[in-house]
Amino acid sequence: MSRMLEEIRQQPLALARTLKAEMKTVARLRAAIEKRRPKLIVLVARGTSDNAAQFGRYLIEITTGIPVSLAAPSIHTVYGARVNYTDALVVAISQSGESTDTNLVLEQARADGALTVGITNEPKSSMAGLAEHVFLVRAGREKSVAATKTYTGQLLVLYLVACALGAKIRHSDLELIPDLAAQALTLEPEIAKLAGRYRFMNHAVVVGRGLNYSNAFEFALKMMETCYVVAERFSSADFMHGPIAIVEANFPLFLFAPSGPTWTSMQEMLVRLRDLKAETMVITDKKNRIPEGLATRTVRLPFAVDEILSPIPYIIPAQIFAAHLAVEKNLNPDQPRTLSKVTLTI
């Protein structure tokens, strides 16, 4: 069994551990925010952590109304430009805490007087020393190059950051997430069988929208780095504005389809894809009753969940799929070619 699969299976405990331990950090950050309310949130990250930041942008704007920007570190490291972070809350996200350009942005923001937060899995990292407020993703050491448990841990911490900013998210709802993750893991036998059908897939599209848009990026990244599948990622809105032209019969598409505000556009897209005879695999749950025949295949989580809590349990079937597809392709998902666990960029 791959380390990637082992770490996927560790997620319920890691999530529960993180939630329990980091509530005190929420209280400290909330107190700091009450003294100087930010007018803007800036999230800075790379790779999988940047996908988590995409989720943070949607979550924070939806639940607090505060504008959120995703930083472009190259503005600082390549162009040498200065950005005014006064009155901003700058949140840096890195599994290792050693992402060079992410830390440079964090360092400049703090020097400019911004309120700074670091989200990392490593308590002794450079990031942990730079940020005023540090949330630890208590996932334990992640040995597989492909990040799984640190990604879901980062999503969970972003719920906590939103709570510190005043989001009306109940702690009792967040306490449900580890159990939802555990229930999602029960789909592994079904997904392992399904992966065999895609053994010869070399290109695909992943679609999500709103709170699950980040999962489209993350699922595509996992297929690219562990299965060497050329996987593009889109929102359903963007895909219908042009890229749908690439779809032909049997073209593989993977879609995140929770019930709620994003379902209408996703359903319209599925109708169009059915007419084009595309191969569609939809990840959803019991709360969303997808009409018979609308999707080629449906991976249905064994519970009903509100959209706002769906991103963490929804990514788990995708992680499992990527891990098993790599094995089907006779690849080692733990050691993708040319990749290492920590990537340093300037």
Indicate if 341 belongs to the active site. yes
Helix (H/G/I), strand (E/B), else coil: 201: coil
Q: In sequence order, what DSSP letters do the residues of 121-161 get, joined into one string?
A: S-TTSHHHHH-SEEEE-------SSS-SHHHHHHHHHHHHH
**Structure-token pair, residue 264:** 């209408």
**CA pair distance 219, 210, nearest whole angstrom:** 15
**Structure-token pair, residue 2:** 């791959």
Residue type, 47: G
Exposure string of 12-37, with b = 16+ CB inside 10 Å and e = fewer, is bbbbbbbbeebeebbeebeebbeeee
Q: In sequence order, what DSSP letters do the residues of 290-322 get, joined into one string?
A: PPTTSSSEEEEESS---GGG-HHHHHHHHHHHH
Q: Which of 222, 286, 329, 341 is catalytic?
A: 341
- Nearest alpha-carbon partner for 135 in 119, 116, 153: 119
Using CA atoms of 223, 225, 226, 231 in order, give the dihedral in degrees to the nearest 10: 20
Q: Where does residue 298 rank: exposed (0-12), middle (13-18), buried (19+ CB within 10 A)?
A: middle
By the 8 A CB rule, do 313 and 211 touch? Answer: no
Sign of CA dihedral 133, 137, 141, 147: negative
- Nearest alpha-carbon partner for 48 in 107, 136, 120, 125: 120
List active site positions. Answer: 341
